[in-house]
Amino acid sequence: MRNYFLLLILTLLPALISAQVKNTVAVRTIVAPVIDGDISDDCWNISSPADKFLQKSPFYNQPATQQSEVRVLFDDNGIYFAIRCYDSASDSILRQLGTRDEDLNADRFNVKIDPYNNHLDAYVFGVYASGPQADSRFQDAAFNAVWKSESKIDDKGWTSEMFIPYSALRFPKSDVQLWGIQFERLIRRSRETSQWALEEQNASNVQLLWGTLSGIQGIDPPVRLSLNPYVSASVSHFPHHDEHVDDYSRNFGGGLDLKAGLSESYTIDMTLLPDFSQVQSDDIINNLSAFETQYEEQRMFFKEAVDLFQKGNLFYSRRIGRMPRGFFDIYSQLDSGETVISNPSQSQLVNASKISGRGNNGLAVGFFNAVTRNTYAEIRTVGGDTRRVLTEPFANYNILVVDKEFKNSNSFYIINNNALRERVYQSSNVTGAGTGIFLRKKTFKLSFNTAVTQNDTTLFSERALDRAGLAHATSFSKVRGNWTWTLGQSTRNSRFDYDDMGIMSMNNYQSYTFSSAYAWYNPATWLKEIRMNNYLESSYRLSTGRSIGSEAMIRFSLLTMKHHFYIWGGYEHSLTRAYNYYESRNPEMPYYEPHWSYAYLGFSSSYSKPFALDGDFSFVSVPYDDSYAINIALSPFLKIGNRFQLRYEVGTENTLRSVGYAGTDTLGMPLFGVRDVVTVNNTLSLTYVIRNYMPITLRVRHYYNEGRYDRYMTLDETGEPFIAANADYNHDFTFNAFNVDFVYSWQFSPGSSLSLIWKTGIQTELLPTHMNYLQNFRHTLDSDQFNSLTLKVIYYLDYQQVRKHKA
């Protein structure tokens, strides 16, 4: 029996050892190391290294092919890391230069910190072998902090030093600190990822497997206060072809961004008179669908620390500073002889603020507020006078959210969004709540979400309550293991509408879904990963019981081991015909859609090579209408040295004999048409890095969309199109959008920058001509264009640095 227990202990010993939480110790230093990438400072010798990294990829749980060491020091100002990445072929280390937060073709090392050690959130501080920084938070991908780092490459590999001030972190007010910690190295040329505390593949919460950082004591959370004042000067030009209107406009302005810690866990961010002139121009398209185009948020204030405000997916930040809803109505309201002097395409944001944070007990609270002023169009009358027309009224946007994380990562949230305007204009109020519960050692998850909407000019009246919209969604999922799946159900009644602060496509439906995925890791010597996904959905309209969609989808993807070649593809098919209540723009006259099929295939080659190529091919077939669409997109990517990179994206889509909404007939009824549509999209992106934190970027995009109608139809009582009695219509179109974005930026000190921005924008819409593509492009360049040149300077002021300098 004794031998049996001894054998059992010896058998379990490796598992028991591997299950132990790894720990490394930070040592207090009197003399701070110089952050220059050279780790030979004597102070580093008082700290023991964290080493013995294991591969997470490509060969899970195998020793790293190149070893790494990390030493940790701290003082009253912050925490220091010395990183040694050994490499037996240091001349092969990839070292592309770039800007902050870029995905560079260079080796990288990440330090991940969970100061509360509660496995709810973490900071990620990354540094490349070539020098640039990258930072984020698990719950805020746009997180940007001010910290220092430098890297150097030598004959042993490469080294880096990092200094993270306490003002960049939120941590508990405790004499003795115990932080969660993870060190991670990425070798770009071999796509190897190694970790100090190896994470489980497909883990629902990887932080549970991290190590700990001990030894930090006798520190206090600092006063977290920083200011980013800015000044900008700009000049713009647009030919109005009116001698009474100046084609040039000039602007000189300034504003302020403020970030202040309200407590050890909560921070307030404010922006006053913000200037977003440096953000990338939107990729404008000619939208033929019934649903709004959703553009990516480019404004940093609305990207950073907004994870809490996205609970329930009820907030679309582009609503704030949106195009005035009366923008296009102005031109139809002009009297004879009147001209438009100015018609702002964006409502003016006066200020915005947000308070957010999560305490050690897992409770997170967020408050968001933004104010936009009245937006007016100016019109010159026949007599030479000027009158103003309101295109977007004053609005006060508010969000309040509370999110509680419980044991085992279970959670509950409640959120309220409201947009308040004067009583003659519509206000809105949306309240949502949801919970997520993990079961069976976090193998399964049960989720429930619900929301109530109110929209009225008298928001809190009895009438508004009677018109409240309701939605709810429930899902049960297997979230752990190679095989995962989700069974879901969602419902929205006909009054559910959160479009005032969110973006919504459909309501008045009930939907049932099932999806599953299976992943194989290292299934063959030449394969790194294979994934298979499938999806089933069936939806019907609540008010009529008619089917509005039923489809099946299967998708695959695989990644090769040696060349890191990624391939994906799939097939989707409608299982039944469906009633589309949106295409006709009249819910009382739904369009009875035929069956359709969609197949696609894509690939992406390795970006560790000087040349890479992405491709995507798709085919859509609608046999009932004898309609089909072919889409081809290619994107070559070229790197020349470590400073210059070029990407060219070209895509063409040819749709033949598609049936869709064209407008209204002479009686105001929905008019459909059979059309051929051609779309060509060309985008050229160039980046040249003069040195780290001093890049020049150029992005040129031309979008061309042309449609020609063969015949026009109206809908019968069954939703089927039939030939219109009066076919004297012409809704053919040619649409062009052309943009140039040129940006020179220089980060002359941490958090401080100078930017020079030049932008060009052209939009044209005309009837199709016999011009070919090149002739059309030349015609577009000859059209009226908007040009602007902006110089902007931002300076970073940190309370701790100012205080230290004065001392």
Residue 414 exposure: Cα atoms within 13 Å on the Cβ side: 0
pLDDT of residue 1: 44
Secondary structure (3-state) at 259: strand
Q: Exposed (0-12), middle (13-18) or buried (19+): which is 715, by Cβ within 10 Å?
A: buried
- Given a contact cutoff of 8 angstroms between Cβ atoms, the answer to whether 56 and 187 are in contact is no
For the stretch 294-309, pLDDT in tens is: 999 989 899 888 889 9
pLDDT of res. 2: 47
List, in sequence order, every residue forming a beta bridge with 648; answer none if it has no partner: 684
Distance spanning both ends of the chain, measured CA to CA: 71
Can you read off the two tokens belonging to residue 185?
A: 């190295």
Cα–Cα distance between 659 and 443 in angstroms, integer?
A: 46
DSSP state of 605: -
Q: How far is the CA of 459 from the CAs of 418, 425, 475, in angstroms?
A: 10, 10, 32
Backbone angles phi, psi at 207, to 5 degrees: -65, -20
Query: Which pLDDT value is given to residue 798?
Result: 87
d(CA 785, CA 767): 19
Instruction: Identify the DSSP state of 494.
Output: T
Token pair in block for residue 616: 């995507």
pLDDT for position 466: 66
- CA distance to 27, 149, 220, 412, 797, per residue, from 32 (Å): 12, 14, 18, 43, 22
Beta bridge partners, 165, equal: 78
Please report the pLDDT score of residue 11 as a whole number. Answer: 40
Place of tokens 């040694």: 84
Q: What is the pLDDT of residue 527?
A: 86
Low-confidence ranges of the chain (pLDDT < 70): 1-19, 457-466, 724-727, 804-807
Cα-Cα-Cα-Cα dihedral of 550, 437, 21, 126, to 10°?
Answer: 50
Contact 437, 463 (CB under 8 A): no
Using CB atoms within 10 Å of the CB of residue 166, give its burial: 0 to 12 exposed, 13 to 18 middle, 19+ buried: buried
Element (H, E) at 627: strand 627-640
By C-alpha distance, which of 694, 750, 745, 746 is closest to 226?
A: 750
Domain ranges of the chain: 21-214
Top CATH class of 21-214 equals: mainly beta
Bridge partner list, 652? 632, 680
- Contacts with 712 (C-beta within 8 Å, 6 or more apart), sequence order: 662, 665, 671, 672, 673, 723, 724, 727, 729, 731
* CA-only gyration radius of the chain, Å: 29
Q: Hunting for tokens 């115990």 — which residue is that?
A: 178
d(CA 21, CA 214): 12
DSSP code for 199: P
| H/E segment holding residue 299 | none
C-alpha pair distances (Å), 432 with each of 17, 315, 463, 499, 532? 45, 11, 20, 14, 33
The pLDDT of residue 66: 96
CA dihedral of 168, 174, 180, 186, whole degrees rounded to 10: 30
User: Looking at this protein, which amino acid is placed at residue 107?
Assistant: D
Burial class (CB in 10 A: 0-12, 13-18, 19+), 791: middle
603-619 CB burial, b ≥16 within 10 A, e <16: ebbbbbeeebebebebe
Q: What is the pLDDT of residue 457?
A: 55
Structure tokens at 260: 């202040």
- What are the Cα distances from residue 290, in Å, to 506, 581, 662? 10, 10, 11
Q: What is the pLDDT of residue 806?
A: 67
The CA-based angle 180-182-186, given to 5 degrees, is 165
Q: What is the pTM of this model?
A: 0.89
pLDDT of residue 5: 42
Q: Tell me how many degrees the CA angle 609-612-615 measures, rounded to the nearest 5.
A: 155
| DSSP3 helix / strand / coil % (the chain, rounded to 5) | 10, 55, 40
